[in-house]
Structure 1
Amino acid sequence: MDSINRNQPEQNVENLTGRAAVEKLAELAKQAETCFFCTAGDSARPMNVREVDEQGNLWFLSASDSRKNQELAANPEVRLFFQGSPHAHFLTLAGRASVSRDQDKIDKLWSFALKTWFTEGKDDPRITVIKFEPAHGYYWDNKHGAAVAGIKILLGAALGKTLDDSIEGTLRA
């Protein structure tokens, strides 16, 4: 039993609240840029995060006639899943989404590439804004960056020892 414990990594847990939670959420969402946006209708689709605001809300653009918007009208509960790189920057969030047609927010979130989905540009009548308000989340990342984590993985494999560089914890705004 002792030999098993000797090879087990020390668990690094850091539960974050308030400003620290918002900063970690924004960092991981920016790293990933895209998430799986899962509605209560059991539909999951990739969505590009257009903005994370100072309160930790995530903003998306969506088509008014999309299945996603229909599912949100029936039930605003949403889960988001992020993966920023193959071995780090993981985040899951649970919360509620609301849909609006706030033209000022559309203007702020707009980029030319979105014309692929909204062919009439930022004034396309189908564009809606989704505001996601996270209630809680969980993250898993590495403490020292991908390069150090990669070196520790290789060194650990060579030594036959776990050299865990991960850090994980809950997020509450």
Structure 2
Amino acid sequence: MKNEAPDNTDLHKLGELIKDIEVAMLTTRIRDGSLVSRPLQTLKLDANGELIFFTDAKSHKIQDLTDDAGANVAYAHPGEHRYVSVRGRARMDRDEDTINELWSPAQKIFFPDGPHDPNLMVLRIRVRDAAYWEAADNFIARAFDFARGMLDESPSNLGEHGHLQG
């Protein structure tokens, strides 16, 4: 994933937190008010604070996001005990420059006609804010902190929780 967010900003930190997480879960609200999540590959976090994905124009998420542009994108890296939840608003387009910039041969699995596939759309989620959780140190240090917290009244340092603005 490309991280083009300006350095020393919350958005850049968001990009760093998610850069090596290949698949995110996009959650939308459907017409009956319930929530639905599905996996997507994040291709880029641009300088304007938009997460960019490719999606199929015929997918249900397009209708969901047309009815209600609010969305959540969740990232998890269990191996590093890192979790991120992003709130934002969606918009869709067929911007050829973005498609050509982010196209890779692997995309052909989903869009057999290549970058000019009529079903290929760019999905952009404008980051409103994000919450993240990162575990402290390694497993042994976390286990020690957890045990210490159980035995005395000192708070355990099990990691960092933060909030980022879009």
TM-score range, shorter chain: 0.7 to 0.9
Deviation sequence 1:105-130 (CA, Å, 0-9, x none): 01111111111110111111110001
Which residue in 2 is equivalent to 1:108? 101
The offset of 1:156, in angstroms, is 4.0
Q: Indicate conservation of the 8 Å contact 1:32/1:85, yes or no.
A: no
Q: Structure 1 residues 85, 97: closer, same or farther in 2, change over 3 A?
A: same
1:54 to 2:47 alignment: yes
Q: Of residues 62, 70, 74 in structure 2, which corresponds to 1:69?
A: 62
SS at match of 1:22: helix
SS at match of 2:14: helix
The offset of 1:26, in angstroms, is 0.2
* Unaligned segments of structure 2, at least 5 residues: 1-6, 150-155
The offset of 1:57, in angstroms, is 1.3
SS at match of 1:118: coil
**How does the TM-score come out when normalised to structure 1?**
0.79
**Aligned mates of 2:112, 2:81 — CA distance in 1:** 35
Q: Percent identity?
A: 26
**Aligned mates of 2:143, 2:124 — CA distance in 1:** 41
**Aligned mates of 2:140, 2:157 — CA distance in 1:** 11
Q: Structure 1 residues 156, 142: closer, same or farther in 2, change over 3 A?
A: closer
Hey, which bits of structure 1, 4+ residues long, moved more than 6 A? none
Q: Structure 1 residues 19, 133: closer, same or farther in 2, change over 3 A?
A: farther
Q: Of residues 28, 37, 40 in structure 1, which corresponds to 2:26?
A: 37
1:81 to 2:74 alignment: yes
Q: Which has the higher helix share?
A: 1
Which residue in 1 is equivalent to 2:148? 161
The offset of 1:85, in angstroms, is 2.7
**Aligned mates of 1:19, 1:133 — CA distance in 2:** 19
**How does the TM-score come out when normalised to structure 2?**
0.82
Which residue in 1 is equivalent to 2:152? none
Q: Of residues 159, 163, 166 in structure 2, which corresponds to 1:170?
A: 163
Higher normalized contact order (CA 8 Å, seq sep 6+, divided by chain length)? 1
When the two structures are aligned, how many residues end up with a matched partner? 150
**Aligned mates of 1:111, 1:20 — CA distance in 2:** 29
The offset of 1:102, in angstroms, is 0.4
Give the AA of the match of 1:71: D
Q: Indicate conservation of the 8 Å contact 1:22/1:55, yes or no.
A: no
Between stretches 23-32 and 99-108, larger displacement belongs to 23-32
